[in-house]
Amino acid sequence: MRADLSHEIELSPAFHDLDPMVVVWHGHYLKYFELARCALLQRFNFDYLQMRESGYVWPIVDLRSKYVRPAHFQQRLIVRAQIVEWENRLKIDYQIRDAGTGQVLTRGHTIQVAVSVATGEMSFVSPPILLERLGVTGA
């Protein structure tokens, strides 16, 4: 059985995350995605430092976000990150929802590709180290 490839964090938007309309500015949702992504990757001991140490960096080459409902100051949010592709690229789906009601506020995904630190060239398949860390070798 494969490991659970998802992770959730809880956070509350700070005052400085608000826009003039007194809701969370759209760009901060991407920061929330990033926080959940890092927490997820840390579970597999493959956060950004470990990626670089393995000889690869993983830039984001595509990012999508769908804003369903606004988030507000000090609203308790659950941010879920889930790895859904890993063979040729790393695709992570996100969902931000209200912690109390479960109501979905935002959905999105990021796509990252492996780039060799040594050569600067993109790999068209995910390096074996990623598959090993995720526990998906031979899956």
Residue 1 predicted with pLDDT over 50: no
pLDDT attached to residue 137: 76
Query: What gap in Å lies between CA 69 and CA 27, rounded to an integer?
Result: 14
- What are 97-133's pLDDT values in tens digits? 999 999 999 999 999 999 999 999 999 999 999 999 9
Sheet holding 77-85, edge to edge: 6-11, 77-85, 90-98, 104-112, 60-67
> What CA dihedral angle connects 131, 118, 37 and 109, to 10 degrees?
-90
Q: So where are the chain's domains?
A: 6-134
Query: What gap in Å lies between CA 26 and CA 17, rounded to an integer?
Result: 9
pLDDT attached to residue 138: 60
- Which pair of tokens denotes residue 105? 């506020």
> Domain 6-134 carries which CATH code?
3.10.129.10
- What are 32-64's pLDDT values in tens digits? 999 999 999 999 999 999 999 999 999 999 999
